[in-house]
Amino acid sequence: MKAGLIVAMTSEYEALRRAGVTGVIKSGIGKADAARAATEFILRDRPDCIINSGCAGGIAPGMMIFDIVVGAQAAYHDVWCGDGSLPGQVQGLPQRFDADPDLVRTACSLQTSRPLHRGLICSGDQFLTTPEDDARVLGIYPDALACDMESAAIAQVCRHYGVPFLSFRLISDVHNSREDAEAGYQDFWKRIADDSFSFLKQLLDRL
């Protein structure tokens, strides 16, 4: 299977390359750049699937830095299309985008040194820094595990083109306070080891 791999940031890209992962493209941060990169990738390279990886903030109780999240679903936390639509729902589309079940199953079968969680990843053009930020997202999606800025946008593009999709994320920060969130995020990049993203290489090797 020919997989297209998308990450947002230079730091994520470099971490994956150190882990031996090749064939990665860097989209840039946020929903617009993520959607653009996914569209260009699909139309140019015709991948059999798209995998979005990188880091995400953990918002579910018990999530820890370096835990791994398999995004069985992706959804927006910053979309509101008015009456007749659910919070987070783009009008005419589902509130949640389901990942490809075969990709989810393969990802969940990997042997990892860190806890692996399966569930919902939420996306929005906002870095969440406080417990109040987390509570707002959990008020829409009580089962949400993590938040990023790209997964749902790429999932929406993949749905449009009929390309199987999976978001597979490493937790970079958890939010007990604004200071804790920002300090934890900076510490994540100081502590990250060359094999921290090796779980993704395992997934690609299995496809």
Handedness of CA 8, 12, 18, 21 (dihedral sign): negative
DSSP assignment of 51-85: EEEEEEEE-STT--TT-EEEEEEEEESS----TTS
CATH number, domain containing residue 37:
3.40.50.1580
Is 185 part of a structural domain of the chain? yes
Is 176 part of a structural domain of the chain? yes
CA angle 99, 103, 109 (to 5 degrees): 125
To the query of whether residue 173 is one of the catalytic residues in this protein, the response is yes
The pLDDT tens digits of the residues spanning 9-22 come to 898 888 888 878 88
Name the residue with higher pLDDT: 61 or 186: 61
Catalytic residue among 12, 100, 133, 134: 12
For the chain, the domain total comes to 1
Q: What was the pLDDT predicted at 178?
A: 45
The pLDDT tens digits of the residues spanning 97-148 come to 999 999 999 999 998 888 999 999 999 998 888 888 999 999 999 999 999 9
Between the alpha carbon of residue 133 and those of residues 54, 140, 175, 191, the distances in Å are 21, 12, 9, 25
- Binned at pLDDT 50, 70 and 90, residue 182 comes out as low
Is 62 part of a structural domain of the chain? yes
The pLDDT tens digits of the residues spanning 41-60 come to 999 999 999 999 989 999 99
Catalytic residue among 78, 100, 134, 173: 173
Is 58 part of a structural domain of the chain? yes
Is 207 part of a structural domain of the chain? no
Residue 183 has pLDDT above 60, yes or no: no
Task: Give the range of the structural domain holding residue 136, as residue numbers without chain letter.
Answer: 3-202
- Torsion angle, CA of 123/35/80/136, rounded to 10 degrees? 10
Is 121 part of a structural domain of the chain? yes
Q: Rounded to an integer, what distance in angstroms lies between the CA atom of residue 102 and that of residue 164?
A: 9
Is 24 part of a structural domain of the chain? yes
Structure tokens at 134: 């987390």
